[in-house]
Amino acid sequence: MGRSFSLVSVLVLAALPVACSFQKADESVKTMDGSVTPVDVQAPPDTSGKDTFQSDTLTTCVKTTPQTMNLPPDVLIVLDRSGSMADGTDGMKCAADMSNCMGGNKWMQMVTSVNGFLPTAETTVNWGLMFFGDVKSGRDNCNVGTVADVAPAPMNATPITTAIGRQTPATATPTTKAITNASAYLRGLTDTNPKFILLATDGIPTCGTSMCTPGVVTTGNQNQCDDANAIAAVAQAFTDGIPTFVIGIATAGIDTTLSAMATAGGYPRMGADKAYYPVASAAELTAALDAIKQQVGTCFFGISTIDPKTMKISGVNADGTALPDGTFTVVGTTGVRLEGQTCQDYTDGKIKKIEVQVDCIIG
């Protein structure tokens, strides 16, 4: 049986009303008054008289001791540009003059929401953008790029809105490949910021092997459903340390699939009848984006990279007191998310110091 000792990574912040000041943590924690609080990464003394720890394993574990970081998260918007995004929110084809599509088609409403929202959130989140599918090789294809169309970065509202404004919806819905490629891309980034996928889609995953509508003749596999593989791709991304939020844009008949993806991604809506974020207007999409920003931009505490084979997150202390189960959620090996009133207390400045407890597994 493996043994463990507990390491603590600490974040100290002065009480702020709402906004947070972000900076990369180092081997100590700098407080707002300029003093330095060292982080103790040594194993506790062994009083059993036995040689408890192997020196080479201990050295590796201590070298990778995590530091708590309230850094701006990298959030990659994985945006569906399938042909159905040109339909109205009722699923009907829009007339050329949009006379039968109040507020414009789904794509236009999404553009309106993103254009209005991102400038208000570009300092607390490093937004990025990846489209799916890939229109470069023709209509109704099932390809997805392997790099972001706009790399996650601070102050990214203008590059993202510009990139979206240049597109028109005209592809299939290769969700599985989109999630797989987005996860690989984010894992390849060298910054230490916590990383998330925000999937925004309006339809069932396609480019699979099962007919979405029995008896319908299609060209290629753009209308072949791929639900199970898309859910599995989201689950694998979460296992690899990349959680996924799911927004459904005026969807119909696919609640089960999108809810399963949201649950597999680690960030389902709590206390709601649907685990994903259903939106049917620009205003609802803006509200969903804001809710997601609040979760990752304020109450998520990332830690520097740990080896899941030798280390695991085991708990959280708030101002020196262990938080009970249910007040925080461990997000893979990337960090923790404060929940409910605990998140609100941190946002309000009632909680000033967060300690992420990490167990080092030996043996």
DSSP letter at 85 equals G
**Alpha-carbon span 300 to 58, nearest angstrom:** 28
**Alpha-carbon span 43 to 93, nearest angstrom:** 65
Instruction: Find which of 2-6, 239-243, 298-302 is predicted with most confidence, using mean pLDDT.
Output: 239-243
Closest CA to 10 of 352, 307, 323: 352
Q: How far is CA 258 from CA 188, 205, 265, in A?
A: 26, 9, 10
187: tokens are 């894992």
Closest CA to 177 of 134, 219, 140, 211: 134
**Alpha-carbon span 171 to 310, nearest angstrom:** 44
Taking the CA atoms of residue 259, residue 265, residue 268 and residue 274 in that order, the dihedral angle to the nearest 10 degrees is -10
Question: pLDDT by residue (tens digit) across 233-258?
Answer: 999 999 888 989 999 998 877 889 99
Question: pLDDT by residue (tens digit) across 35-70?
Answer: 333 333 333 444 444 332 222 333 445 544 556 666
DSSP letter at 43 equals P
pLDDT band for position 16 (cuts 50, 70, 90): very low
Q: How many CB atoms lie within 10 A of CB 322?
A: 11
Question: Is the pLDDT confidence value at 147 over 80?
Answer: yes
> Is-contact 174 144, C-beta < 8 A?
yes
**Alpha-carbon span 311 to 5, nearest angstrom:** 10
* CATH code for the domain defined by 74-297: 3.40.50.410
pLDDT of residue 38: 39
pLDDT of residue 282: 87
**Alpha-carbon span 103 to 332, nearest angstrom:** 40
What percent of the chain shows pLDDT beyond 90?
32
322: tokens are 């262990």
**Alpha-carbon span 149 to 128, nearest angstrom:** 8
Per DSSP, which regions of the chain are E strands?
3-12, 28-30, 36-38, 68-69, 74-80, 126-132, 150-153, 195-201, 210-211, 224-225, 244-249, 277-279, 300-303, 311-318, 321-322, 328-331, 335-338, 353-362
pLDDT band for position 182 (cuts 50, 70, 90): very high
311: tokens are 């280390």
130: tokens are 């990846």
Closest CA to 203 of 358, 89, 119: 89
Question: Which pTM was predicted?
Answer: 0.71
Question: pLDDT by residue (tens digit) across 187-245?
Answer: 999 887 889 999 999 888 988 877 665 544 444 455 578 899 999 999 999 988 898 99
Helix segments in the chain, DSSP class H: 55-63, 106-121, 157-165, 175-187, 227-239, 255-264, 282-297, 340-347
Residues of the chain with CATH 3.40.50.410: 74-297
